[in-house]
């Protein structure tokens, strides 16, 4: 769900500032444009970053940085929460 939220942010950025993302030969105005942005959001959120889609504008780059931090902290908080649910076994 986080990836969808960030994908909508990126779609808004692209609608206000066209050309914010370099997608190679694909264009965000096409029907498959949102799928490209969703794919970019998942690769950014998981910090995989294949490099085939690149943020160009300063606004897009700023949001990408924030999404990367959210992805890293989400995993850390999730693991800490799960570890806190189960107390250590006493012998």
Q: Which domains does the chain have, with CATH numbers?
A: 2-85 (1.10.287.70)
Q: How many residues does the chain have?
A: 91
Q: CB burial class (10 A; 0-12, 13-18, 19+) of residue 7?
A: buried
Instruction: Identify which of 77, 9, 15, 78 has the alpha carbon closest to the alpha carbon of residue 40.
Output: 9
Report the pLDDT value the prediction gives residue 53, as an integer from 0 to 100: 87
Contact 45, 67 (CB under 8 A): yes
- 56 phi, psi to nearest 5 deg: -105, -50
Hey, is 29 helix, strand or coil?
coil
Q: For the whole model, what pTM was predicted?
A: 0.79
Model confidence pLDDT, tens digit, residues 17-53: 888 888 876 666 666 788 889 999 999 988 888 888 8
């Amino acid at each position: 769900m986080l990836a969808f939220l960030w994908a909508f942010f990126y779609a808004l950025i692209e609608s206000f500032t066209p050309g914010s993302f370099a997608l190679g030969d694909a264009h965000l105005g096409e029907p498959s444009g949102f799928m490209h942005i969703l794919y970019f959001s998942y690769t950014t959120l998981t910090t995989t970053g294949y490099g085939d889609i690149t943020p160009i504008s300063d606004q897009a780059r700023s949001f990408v940085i924030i999404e990367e931090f959210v992805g890293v902290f989400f995993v850390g908080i999730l693991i800490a929460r799960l570890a806190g649910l189960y107390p250590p076994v006493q012998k």
